[in-house]
Amino acid sequence: MDRAIEEADAILDPHERQRALQRAVRLVEEQRWWIPLYRGQVPFIVDRALAFEPRQDLLLWYAEIGGP
């Protein structure tokens, strides 16, 4: 992807540059790459009687939730 963008950046003709960038986008779509650009906050509602610390990956493992 980076190489395709760099090659497109070197093209002076705007129409040819647009075609090169479209090829780069198709490359990403074909590979189905996922690039996270934003990670929002995920709220958890937990009873105060439970001891709970969210995991970094935000998965819920019920075995890790315990009492005080």
For residue range 10-33, what is the model confidence (pLDDT) as tens digits?
999 999 999 999 998 888 788 776
pLDDT score recorded for residue 67: 61
Q: What is the pTM of this model?
A: 0.45
pLDDT digits (tens, 9 = 90+) for 29-65: 887 766 677 767 777 777 888 777 778 887 877 777 7
- What does the H/E/C string look like for the chain? CHHHHHHHHCCCCHHHHHHHHHHHHHHHHHHCCCCCCCCCCCCCCCCCCCECCCCCCCCCCHHHCECC
pLDDT score recorded for residue 2: 83
pLDDT score recorded for residue 41: 76
